[in-house]
Homo-oligomer: A and B are copies of this chain.
Amino acid sequence: MTSLSAVERLDIYRWMYRTRRFDEVMVSMFKQGRGLGTCFSARGHEAVSIGAGWGLQPEDFAAPMHRNVGMFMLRGLPPDQLYSNYLGRANGTTRGRDANLHGNGDLSRNLIGFISHIPQSLPVALGAAMSFRYRRQPQAALTVCGDGGSTAGVFHETLNMAVLYKAPLVVVLENNQYAYSTPVAEHTAVSELHLKARAYDMPSQVVDGNNVLEVFKAVSAALAQARAGEGPSLVEARTMRMLGHAIHDGAEYVPDELLAHWEARDPVVRFQRWLQNNDGVRPDELQELERAESELIDQAFAAAEASPFPDPDTVKAGVYAD
């Protein structure tokens, strides 16, 4: 489960590249004024989304957040429907009801929707994990929480309960150095974020969030433990938000050196090099893969832009389940 073949590794790269392209096209379209509302760039978070998501089984539950477009796609949400969601179209994942990656839940894919009230998905993912415990199914739930999200009280409540109930939950703490304009040191008192887990006797570790294999290894092991009934754990993945908080934010408050430091560790570029050096993947293979992915993404965006808006007469539909 936690070892990968070369074929899988190349596939991982494909998904990382797809994620990167999805983001690049999204950002440039929003900058051109072709978006709707706002959007949150995932640039720099590809290794976390794909590395963590790669450890999931279809029966596991996943609760990604607003920068985990890679994990949403990996979970099966088609890029065109995702773009349609950004553009408020009827065929978007939320049928025009919510924006960007918000509300992208899909029970047929064991995918839990994200809402703005951060980190409300944390206890919900715990509940999904508890359903496995309840039904004695050997599965796990994974949720992503930002560094900023970890300052909210419900983080504490969730971790405490997860350990108390020995729930099969894995919390990926995506530490991207900032919560909006606020750097970690200004929102969190503890020296290392993963130490927060110690207040609940929850096992925790830190990984390089820009190294997809390291993320995969740690998260898939944590998931395996959870499925085996050994309880919850937390993986802090250190990475960097490479663009602003949302599309309108120029992030002038981020020091250039910090960005340069992380730019040199770009997760996509890094893994591409790794594949060449270690798996002997050839440049032309990579070029072909990248070309195909770019095309797929461009087509997805074009399809979304060509999709119709929802019919206003449907506005009241679906407030209640039957």
Contact = CB atoms under 8 A, between A and B. Distances in A.
A160 interface: yes
A230 interface: no
A196 B151 CA distance: 14
Nearest to A189: B163
Nearest to A186: B164
A187 interface: yes
Contact of A198 (B159, B161, B199): B199
A115 interface: no
A189 B201 CA distance: 6
Contacts of A245: none
Interface in A162-197: 162-164, 186-191, 195-196
Contacts of A90: none
Nearest to A202: B189
A15 to B, nearest CB: 34
Contacts of A164: 186-189
A265 interface: no
A157 interface: yes
A95 interface: no
A190 B199 contact: yes
A148 to B, nearest CB: 12
Given A152-B157, A155-B156, A164-B187, A199 B199 contact: yes
A152 B160 CA distance: 10
Contacts of A154: 153
Nearest to A232: B189
Contacts of A189: 159-164, 200-202
Nearest to A200: B189
Contacts of A200: 189-190
Contacts of A153: 152-157
Interface of A: 151-157, 159-164, 186-191, 195-196, 198-202
14 contacts: A151-B156, A151-B157, A151-B160, A153-B153, A153-B156, A153-B157, A155-B156, A159-B189, A160-B189, A162-B189, A164-B186, A164-B188, A189-B200, A195-B199
Given A152-B153, A190-B199, A198-B199, 10 more contacts: A151-B157, A152-B157, A153-B156, A155-B156, A160-B189, A189-B200, A189-B202, A190-B198, A195-B199, A196-B199
